[in-house]
Structure 1
Amino acid sequence: MLQLIAGLLPNRGGPQQQRRSIFWTACVLVGAAFALDLSLTTWYRYQENPTVISMERDYKEWNTSFPSVTVCPTVKVEDDQLQAFIDDNVSSSHSDVYGTNDLILSMTEVGFCYSYNSQVAIYNQPEYWKSGKFKIVEQPPSLTGSPLDGDMFAQLMGMSSGYTLYIHGPFETFDIATKKLSSEFMNYKTLELSGLSIYSTQEARSLSIKQRKCRFLDESNLVLSPAYSYKMCRTECRMKLAYKLCGCIPHFYKPQKHYKVCDATGIHCLGKHNELLIKLRDPSKDYEKVPCPCLPSCDDISYVVESETTMNWFLGTLLKWGLVKYPRLRLKRDIIFGFTDLLVAIGGTAGLFLGCSVLSFIEFFYFFTLNLICINWKKS
């Protein structure tokens, strides 16, 4: 490389030598142009498409997360507690109407709801908000199962009202646009589910968020939660849009220092933009999407209702759900074009068009920087 550069430097040879220098200079410049163009293409691929999503079929080797549910009672007032509040003029605590310690009470876009087998519902708890904490909370692992375990079911009994039901993964929640199921009081609902999961390898974690186009649970950029999920991100978009439209946010979002909670006037304003806030699409602009830069979660699972039955049940309101069909494949996000591949590709391109390697570029840098500095320093 240094010999080539030296040959291109001005010289005092005759016309033939000058023509030769011009010819080789042109060849080097053309080669450099092609090498630069292909190298930029390779760099773009590394930045934009370094991952691949493939399918795995060795289903006996992995466990599938048991579906999480969020149950929202249709009757949110308990008569006994309301009467006690009226009689004593003292605020009573909100008890668990379901009689179980496995449901986490959280505030959602549809009011107070109860989540089972969830790893993120805790970040929507008013108690968590009041604590002033903003870090990921260590929790017991979520339930999982495999084909060797057979069918898995969970059951909620003794519910005091009808309810609306949302199904999601343990590391996800729901929002107001999520598909819902419902049941009346004194009904017994049974749901049989199947799931499809996607996970990302640790090698994919080494890439930047922009490169892999997804976020892990601990890579939150949200103000509502230290744990990231796609639905929580969409919820934050609604909160910011509500503030932009009406100058306030609904009371069911985590209190923020710079966001005023809506009063009656603000609630009326939000009602006028109801469809826009729910769908995040502007009906006045042919349902154009509202900017909401939410990336999917790197690890996620979606569930499909295979069977749903509802019957009258004189013993109370019950819900039973579970996995009856374990997935025989899952999706894996992994690196297909890493940094090593980038160096090999650029080095091969430089060798093809310039007859040099990456080491030659280092020599080129040294020749025109450190070497010149040393020469000038010696002369001085």
Structure 2
Amino acid sequence: MKFIHAKLNVLLQRLKYTCKNLSVHGPSYLARKDVHLVCRIIYCIIYVQVWVVAVASIYKYISSYQEDTIRFTTQTDYLDWNTTVPSVTVCEIANLDEILVKLQKLDKQSSETIVSFAKDIAFYTGECPSCSLVNNFTIHNFSNYSSAFRSECKDLFISCTWNDKPLNCCQHFKPIQTEYGRCYSINNNQIGLIQSPYYAASSNARKLGTLELNLAQDFEAFLHSPEDVPYWNMELDRRISVLHGTEGSILFSVVDILNEPELSFIPPDVRQCRFPDESPDNIKGYHRYSYSVCIINCRIEAQIELCNCTSHLSPDEYKERYCDVRGLQCLTKHHATLKNLKVPGMNETGLNCDCLSSCVEPEYNTVAKKLIDCESNLKARKVKLILSNRPYERVTRQVARTGLDLLVAMVADFTTQLSQLYERHSSELQILVATFRKRNSDLRKERATCPSSLFHTWETLLQEVEADVVGCSNASSSLERVVATPLIEKTFHMKVQARKLFAHREGCELILSKADDQLNKSRQDYRTAFLNYCNNSNPTNLATYYDSHNTYVQQLIATNAMIEQYHRHTLPTILQELEEILTDVTTAVSDAICQEGEIITDKSTNQLRRYESLCAQARAVSSTADLAHLARTLLNNQPPMRTPKRAFMPPYPPEPDDPPLDVAAECMPPVLRGEMLLDRMAGGQARLNYEQLRKDAIDLEIQIKQLQDGLDALARVQSRSLESSIYSKVNEIQEEISMKKYDYRATQLHLAAVRAQVSNCIK
């Protein structure tokens, strides 16, 4: 404990030293001993509030940056680019007749329970009602069991055409694992193949793009982006189920999305989307990120959390966690929770998956979807997916604010708000001065027309505040005109230049990528020519081999030259320009802050000089001189007044209103003066009155002394309360002092009367 106490003392001393020596206004008052404790507490509260406001303001700007970082614009220059065709995935639908046939081929029992169980396992959709009826089922590898009831590609597809040109179905439709089991997908980047430009709809092409499929089994076709995988919650307007004896068609349009190069520098949580190569570490089974992949992974994690296993149709990476019959029963029990997605803000059952959308996923709009009956004797199930119109627009996701934009916006916005604050302060000061000017004119009419240093100082204060109105107005206009607006205008072209540089880098890397593709193609042609010559040695193949060799070498030299030029010259110049932009932006922001400081400094210096003069004038105010001026003014207006004493008025002669006296002259009482009359007739009573007056005088003197002592004690208590800033107690004591002073003065009046009576008796 002593060690901790010593450490705390050292820390407290260092904290006091730091507060005393800080140049920031405020903390020094916390460590000064000459400042009262209450004042230090008040300073501490104010200082903490200032920091809270500062942190809140910074947090506001950062939140605004995070929420308004991305913006979307629509481009309509549709003659310069092509629209990619979406991926199409075909999943087989359960057919009880086919399942029965395959059970017979596998020499399995074909009871109704077994058929239902085979259907639930092979075409699992989140629940298995028949699993509760086959608790003693001996097969545990449901993944292989499911594959046995699904058709292979060669048995599923009959024919495929793209723009009326035949396709090798199984060469283009590759197997992919989905929540519906094994499906077949074309133009899907999750399969790991290089996307061919074969699937593209040109804005100048006559045929926009039509994919026609003929399948031998019932199926469901999904229309989605190349990074997506079909999942249970996919939109219904982008899927169609084609059964025996029906034909389906989907007419759709595509709006591609283009991302600016600098978008990759923005964190996914800020831009609210992920690129395909930004797949989180917890996602398994798919190497490219998409919203559907995230939902599938979220559902798998929920299945493992609830039932300690996952569906046998999950990717192979989870094969160690595949469910047995009891596990499938558990999944069936939680089917309502696992299959639905919970909408934020709604009180409903479902998964709460925090999944971001894909940054590259286009917008697919289903124009029309038809499903018609055809001749029932046809074995093929047909579907057509047709691009409805030429591309006429695409959406561009742009970065509205970068890190430098945040700094520039904060400085400019702060300056603008400071300017508005000064403007409001100027208006309020002007209203305040006008109000008190009017009251001052009324006061001038009521007071005496004599010089007064106090009144002159008060008028000077009004003049200085009126000068502050002009100063605040000038500072407001200067901050807006000289700092805020020029800062935005000065840095705007720098922001545009930085974006163009990122676009240049992206374009150069795209050129290098195309050069690599050409190099790979020439290398493949070179190798093909070599193999052809090895298989058939003739002059024609030899000439082709030499030509392909020369083409490959030329392409290799060109590619290496482009790479060297890019890394030695192009990229360094781009980085150098970015460095220059950063330097220019830094200089512009620092100059703006400096100008802002100079404007406020000029205003404060002028204000300081004026108010120092006002303080000197206020210190020179003399109440004695003001009273002397007032007295001279009053003496000039009227003669000095003497103390108004009452004169002795004898009862005779009678006043005019008195009735006439019918008294003989010898019977008239003697006329007396304003003096005490002591004779034998009135002497006894006069002596008694004299003794009583002396006693009253002594009592009044004692009472006056007690009142004086009480006033002195109250004055001391009031002084201590003032030093302690206990103003409520000061007010209470002042009321008591006023009452005692009145009693003191009233007692003095009575004492003066008694003393005068005693003195008259002595005479």
| TM-score for the superposition, normalised by structure 1 | 0.72
Q: Aligned pair 1:191/2:265, yes or no?
A: no
Q: 2:338 aligns with which of 270, 277, 283?
A: 277
Question: Do the aligned residues in 2 keep the contact of 1:72 with 1:163 (CA within 8 Å)?
Answer: yes
Name the SS for the 1:205 alignment partner: helix
For 1:258 and 1:358, the matched residues in 2 are separated by: 60
Once the two structures are superposed, the pairs formed by residues 5-20 of structure 1 within 5 Å of their partners are: 5=23
Distance of 2:153 and 2:100 partners within structure 1? 12
Q: Matches of residues 83-162 of structure 1 in structure 2 within 5 Å?
A: 94-97=152-155, 98=157, 100=169, 101-120=171-190, 122=191, 137=192, 139-141=194-196, 143-162=199-218
SS at match of 2:295: helix
Q: Secondary structure at the match of 1:60?
A: coil
Instruction: State the 1:325 CA deviation.
Output: 1.8
**1:246 is aligned to 2:307:** yes
Confirm or deny: 8 A CA contact 1:60 1:147 kept in the other structure: yes
Alpha-carbon offset, residue 46 of structure 1: 2.1
Paired positions, count: 324
- What is the aligned counterpart of 1:63 among 69, 82, 87? 82
Residue identity (%): 24
| Residue 331, structure 1, aligned to residue 427, structure 2 | no
Matches within 5 A, 1:225-240: 225-240=286-301
Structure 1 counterpart of 2:385, which letter?
A: W
Once the 2 structures are TM-superposed, how far is the Cα of residue 251 of structure 1 from its aligned partner? Answer: 0.8
Can you give the 5+ residue segments of structure 2 that lack an aligned partner in the other structure? 1-21, 35-44, 108-146, 158-167, 419-478, 484-588, 595-763
Q: CA deviation at 1:63?
A: 1.9
| Residue 341 (structure 2) pairs with residue 341 (structure 1) | no
Contact persistence 2:200–2:209 (CA under 8 A): no
Structure index of larger Rg: 2
Residue 156 of structure 1 deviates from its aligned partner by 4.2
**Greater CA drift, 190-199 or 210-219:** 190-199
CA separation of 1:270 and 1:323: change in aligned 2, threshold 3 A:
same
- Specify the SS of the correspondent of 2:269: helix
- Post-superposition CA distance 1:188-243 (Å, at most 9, x none): 33322112333322121111111111000100012232210001100111111111
Q: Which has the higher contact order (CA 8 A, sep 6+)?
A: 1
2-side partners of 1:183 and 1:258: how far apart? 31
Q: Tell me what 1:165 maps to.
A: 221
Letter in 1 for 2:383: L
- Post-superposition Cα deviations, 1:12-67, rounded to whole Å, max 9, x if no partner, equal xxx9xxxxxxxxxx999998776554333222222333111222222333322213
1:52 equivalent to 2:71? Answer yes
The corresponding residue for 1:292 is: 353
Shift of 1:85: 7.1
Distance 2:349 2:92 in 1: 33
Q: Who is 2:434 aligned against?
A: none
Which residue does 1:305 correspond to in 2?
Answer: 366
- Compare 220-229 and 253-262 and name the one that shifted more: 253-262
Which structure 1 segments of 5+ residues have no match?
Answer: 16-25, 123-136, 362-380
CA distance in 2, matches of 1:80, 1:158: 22
Deviations 1:298-356 (A, max 9, x none): 01123233233434254733222120223433322111111111121334467686x99
Q: CA deviation at 1:272?
A: 1.6
Cα distance in 1 for residues equivalent to 2:260 and 2:51: 37
Q: Does the 8 Å contact 2:177/2:313 carry over to 1?
A: yes
Q: How does 1:14-33 map to 2 (within 5 A)?
A: none
CA distance in 2, matches of 1:343, 1:239: 43
Residue equivalent to 2:60 = 41
Decide whether the 8 Å contact of 2:201 with 2:209 is kept in 1.
Answer: no
Conservation of the 8 A alpha-carbon contact between 2:244 and 2:379: no
Match of 2:241 in 1: 182
**C-alpha spacing 1:140/1:28, structure 2 compared with 1 (3 Å):** same
Taking only aligned residues, the RMSD between alpha carbons, in angstroms, comes to 4.0
Q: CA, structure 1 residues 252+272, in 2 after alignment: closer, same or farther (shift >3 Å)?
A: same
Q: Alpha carbons of 1:78 and 1:144: their partners in 2 closer, same or farther (altered >3 Å)?
A: farther
| Cα distance in 1 for residues equivalent to 2:55 and 2:66 | 16
3-state SS of the aligned residue for 1:47?
A: helix
Q: 2:321 matched to which residue of 1?
A: 260
Task: Please tell me the residue identity of whatever aligns with 1:62.
Answer: W
| Greater mean deviation of Cα atoms: 223-232 or 194-203 | 194-203
- Partner letter of residue 108 of structure 1? T
| Contact map agreement 1:151 1:322 (CA 8 A) in 2 | no
Identify, as 1 or 2, the structure richer in strand.
Answer: 1
Q: Which has the higher helix share?
A: 2
Is 1:320 paired with 2:378?
no
Which secondary structure does the structure 1 equivalent of 2:314 belong to?
Answer: coil
